[in-house]
Amino acid sequence: MKKRRFILIGLMGLFLLLTCFFLYNKNSRPVILEFGMFTGSNWDVASANSFKIFDRAIADFEKNHPNVKIHYYSGIAKEDYSEWCARKLLEGKTPDVFMVLDSDFDKFTSLGVMKNLEDLMSSDDSFHKEDFFTTALDTGRNGGHQYALPYEVVPTLMFVNKSLLAKEGIDMPKEDWTWEDMAEICQRVTKDTDQDGLLDQFGTYNYSWRDALYTCGGNLYENNQAQISFTDSRVLNAVKYIKRLNDINQGQSVTQEDFNAGRVAFMPLTFAEYRTYKTYPYRIKKYTKFQWDCITFPADKEGGNTSKVDALLIGIGSKTRHEALAWEFLKQLTYTGEMQMDVYRYSQGVPALRAVASSQEGVDCLQEDMDEGEQVISSTLLCHVIENGIIEPKLLQYQQVMNLADGEVSKILQENKNVDSSMKIFQRTVSKYLQQQK
C-alpha cells in the first residue's frame, strides 16, 4: 500500500517538475511574432519598394519592444500568397499578424482564423476607429464584427485620354459629370478616322455594367442579405446604359491595343495603376503616346460620382499567443502616421488613415514624381471618392453570382437581347443557384 502511494506521489511530482520546466523555458526565450505578407503590390502593378515599408515598420517596432522579434517569409508572390496562408493554417502555424487577400477574407473569417478585433479596439484608449476611412474600415468587417484593419486603400478612377479629347475639341469633364455627358462624348469621339469603313476611335474600354450600377445608386447586396435582385430598376438602367454605349460602337469590339494606341477616350483604372504609370520610372512603359489623367466616374440622376474601393487588409490570427503584441504591431502598420505616410512614399495606394491621406505632406509625395505641369488629382477629391466608395461584398457566393451576371450581360450585348426580359430570366437562374448553395 505504501509503495503504491510512493509511486503515485512520484508520478505527480514528475509531472509538476516537467510543467515548471516547460513554463520556465517558454518565458526565457524572446518573443517571435510571425508576420505574413506577400511581395509586390496588391494592385497588380509593378512595385520596387514593397519590402522597404515593412522593414522600416519592423525595425521601428523591434526598437520599441526590445524582447520581440518579427519574422516574415520574403518572396511570396501575391498569386502564391493565398495558398501559402492556407498551408500555414492547415499546418497550425497561422501567422500572428498577416495580410489578407480579398478573396480569402470571407473564408478566413468564417473558419475563425481571424481574430475578432472589436474587444481590442474598444479597450484601447489610444485607438479611434473614426480616424480610418469608413469605407476602408468596412472592408475589414464581416457579420457586424471587425476582423481586419485596412492598411492602404485604392479607389477606382476613370482614365481620360486628354490628347484625344483635345483633338476632338472636347473639354475635360468636370468632377460631377453625368451619364449623359459621357454618352455624348462617346458619341462624338466614336468615328472612322482613316475612312476604311471600320470604326477606329472609341468612347470606352472595359467600362462595365457594375461601374454603371455603382454610380446610379444601385446596390445588389444590401445589408448582406442572401437575396440578389437583378430586376431592380437601377440594375436594369445600368445594363441599358452599357448597352447604349455599346451600341455606339456598332457591334465592333474595343481592344487593349486600341486603348494603348490612344484611340479610346475612357477606361476605368485603379488609383494604384494611375500612380504607377503616371510617375517615373514606369511612366515610360505605358501610355506614352498621349496625355492622360484620371477623374471620377460619371453619375446617373439618382447616384453619385462613386466607384469601387479596395483595401489591403491586415488581421491578427485568432490563435496568436501574443495578442497584445500582435495588436501593437497591427497598430504600428495601420494606425501610425509615419507608417501610413510610407504608403504614399513607397506604395501605390492611399493611406487608410484619413488625416494622413489628406495631409499636405502626402500631396507633396504624390506630386514629387509627376511631370512638370501635370496636375495630380486633388486630395480632397481623392478622399471624397474613397469616403463614398462602394465596397464589394467578399462572399465567394457573391463573386460567383457576379461572374454569372457578367456573362449574362455580355451575352445581352453581343446578341442584342431585350434587357428587361433577359434579366428577368436571369433572376430566376440566380435564385435557383442561391437556393442550392444554402
Partner 1 sequence: MEDNKFNGRIRILQTAILVINIISVMGISIFIYATIEKIRRAYDAREFLNEIQAIVWYPYAKIWLCALLLGFLTLSMVIRDRLFPNNSKVILTSLIADFIACFAIIIELNFNYNGILLLVFSNVILYVKNGKSRYILAAVAIGSFILADYELLSISYRLYSIQDYIAFYSASKQQYFLSVYNIFISLNVILFVAYCVNIINEQQGNIDEIHGLNEKLHDVNEQLQKYSLMAEKMAETRERNRLAREIHDTLGHTLTGISAGIDACIAIISISPEQTKKQLELISKVTRDGIKDIRRSVSELRPDALDRFSLEFAINKMVTDINAVSEARVYFDCRVSNLKFGEDEENAIYRVVQEGITNAIRHGQAKEIWVTMKMEKEDILIQIKDNGIGCKEMKSGFGTKHMKERIRMLNGAVTFDGSDGFIVNARIPIRRGETYD
Chain positions contacting partner 1, by CB under 8 A: 4, 7-8, 82-83, 85-87, 89-92, 104, 107, 110-113, 319, 396
Nearest approach in angstroms of CB 94 to partner 1 is 8
Q: Which is nearer to partner 1, 110 or 367 (CB)?
A: 110
User: Please, what sign has the CA dihedral across residues 168, 169, 171, 177?
Assistant: negative
Measured from the CB atom, is 82 or 291 closer to partner 1?
82
Least distance (Å) between residue 397 CB and partner 1: 11
**Of 104 and 273, which CB lies nearer to partner 1 in the complex structure?**
104
Pairing state of beta strands 97-100 and 141-142?
unpaired
Torsion of CA 265, 270, 272, 274, to 10 degrees: 10
CB of 434 to partner 1, least distance (A): 17
The sign of the CA dihedral 230, 231, 236, 239 is positive
Q: Output the smallest distance, CB 107 to partner 1, in A.
A: 6
Least CB distance from residue 48 to partner 1, whole Å?
A: 28
Task: Tell me phi and psi for residue 156, to 5 degrees.
Answer: -95, 135
- The DSSP result for 136-177, as a single string, is HHHHTEETTEE-EEEEEEEEEEEEEEHHHHHHTT-PPPPTT-
**Angle, helices 233-248/396-415, rounded to nearest 10 degrees:** 40
d(CA 415, CA 396): 29
Minimum gap (Å) between residue 47 Cβ and partner 1: 23
Q: Could you give the CA distance from residue 166 to residue 106 in angstroms, rounded to a whole number?
A: 45
**Residue whose grid cell is 509627376:** 370
Contact criterion met (CB below 8 Å) for 213 and 306: no
Give the whole-angstrom CA distance, residue 101 versus residue 81: 8
Q: Write down the least CB distance from residue 84 to partner 1, Å.
A: 8
The C-alpha cell of 116 is what? 475578432
CA distance 380 to 206: 26
Q: Which is nearer to partner 1, 96 or 408 (CB)?
A: 96
